């Protein structure tokens, strides 16, 4: 009996140490936005921690919750960084199959931008509760989630929250962003068409102006937050030129950023070594060193 009790206690401790998460919240609860969007905290030990909102990829049609969500959050948490997995609004498989958004609005921009900006507001407003530093809050995204991370760094002062009745004096500008093998352009030949369709809509309803308005390389600003950018040349899903376009645009605007391009590694691996090359998984250590360095410089 004592042995069984000891094993049970140890099991709970192991669960707590690896992957502890607080209860998820609906970021739109008690607001005029009648939507359910889940934000799940994975809090590191201690307080005054660096924090990252994690945006999984999935072409704005679905979300890779496991590899690019939970897996990334647990890795950050194990390295002393609190993480918040955001299950931002995506279109869904039925819309991918049926094209029903030709008739009905469905999910599309600016829904996703509202979700990330609302999350930044909530986390900053409750920083003490989460044991994080409100001035060390960043956004990390993968693939289409990387595009969303990029939008958070470019469109943070866009008044989209007022569309759902929210007024706030809290800064919505991330303190850093990390687009990982991101979708970037909707006007270049390297465009990821599925993500374009996911965020913008269907068929002829997508104008050239709409494509331009959400192409990250067209809207880089000199006051963007520090940016960590990474991708792989052999990426079979999102052409590597996407990140090159963003890197060039940020260089032209003198944005504080680090761009790492790996020859091998593919796509969709998040922070999981088994899903990529030995070369590309090195991004994790590079990011940890980079994010600690940018805040050390400010001290």
Residues with Cβ within 8 Å of residue 104, at least 6 apart in sequence = none
* pLDDT, tens digit, 9 for 90 and up, residues 171-205: 999 999 999 999 999 999 999 999 999 999 987 76
Q: Which residues lie closer than 8 Å to 235 by C-beta, 6 or more apart?
A: 181, 265, 266, 267
CA distance 292 to 286: 10
Between the alpha carbon of residue 272 and those of residues 62, 64, 67, 286, the distances in Å are: 19, 13, 7, 15
Do the Cβ atoms of 134 and 183 come closer than 8 Å? no
DSSP reduced 3-state for 74: helix
Q: What are residue 216's DSSP bridge partners?
A: none
In tens, the pLDDT along 12-60 reads 333 344 445 689 999 999 999 999 999 999 999 999 999 999 999 999 9
What burial class does residue 182 get, using C-beta atoms within 10 Å of its C-beta: 0-12 exposed, 13-18 middle, 19+ buried?
buried
Give the list of residues 6+ apart from residue 22 with CB closer than 8 angstroms, or none. Answer: 40, 41, 42, 43
pLDDT at 297: 62
CA quadruple 124, 224, 87, 265: dihedral positive or negative? negative
Q: Give the separation between CA 282 and CA 87, rounded to whole angstroms.
A: 26
pLDDT beneath 70, residues of the chain: 1-21, 205, 297-299
């Amino acid at each position: 009996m004592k042995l069984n009790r000891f094993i049970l206690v140890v099991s709970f401790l192991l669960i707590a140490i690896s992957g502890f998460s607080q209860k998820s919240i609906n970021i739109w609860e008690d607001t005029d936005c009648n939507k359910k969007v889940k934000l799940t905290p994975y809090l590191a030990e201690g307080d005054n921690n660096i924090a990252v909102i994690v945006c999984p990829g999935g072409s704005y049609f679905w979300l890779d919750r496991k590899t690019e969500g939970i897996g990334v959050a647990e890795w950050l948490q194990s390295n002393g960084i609190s993480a918040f997995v955001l299950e931002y609004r995506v279109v869904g498989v039925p819309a991918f199959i049926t094209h029903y958004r030709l008739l009905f609005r469905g999910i599309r921009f600016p829904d996703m931008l509202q979700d990330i900006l609302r999350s930044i507001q909530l986390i900053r407003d409750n920083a003490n509760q989460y044991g994080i530093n409100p001035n060390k809050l960043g956004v990390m995204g993968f693939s289409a989630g990387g595009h969303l991370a990029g939008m958070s760094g470019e469109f943070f002062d866009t008044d989209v929250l007022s569309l759902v009745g929210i007024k706030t004096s809290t800064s919505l500008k991330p303190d850093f962003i990390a687009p990982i093998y991101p979708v970037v352009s909707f006007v270049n030949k390297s465009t990821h068409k599925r993500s374009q369709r996911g965020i913008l809509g269907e068929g002829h309803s997508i104008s050239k102006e709409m494509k331009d308005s959400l192409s990250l390389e067209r809207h880089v600003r000199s006051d963007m937050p520090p940016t960590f950018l990474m991708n792989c040349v052999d990426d079979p899903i999102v052409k590597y030129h996407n990140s090159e376009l963003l890197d060039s645009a940020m260089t032209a605007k003198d944005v504080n950023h680090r761009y790492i391009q790996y020859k091998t590694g593919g796509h969709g691996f998040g922070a999981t070594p088994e899903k990529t090359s030995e070369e590309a998984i090195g991004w994790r250590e590079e990011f940890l060193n980079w994010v600690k360095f940018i805040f050390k410089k400010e001290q």
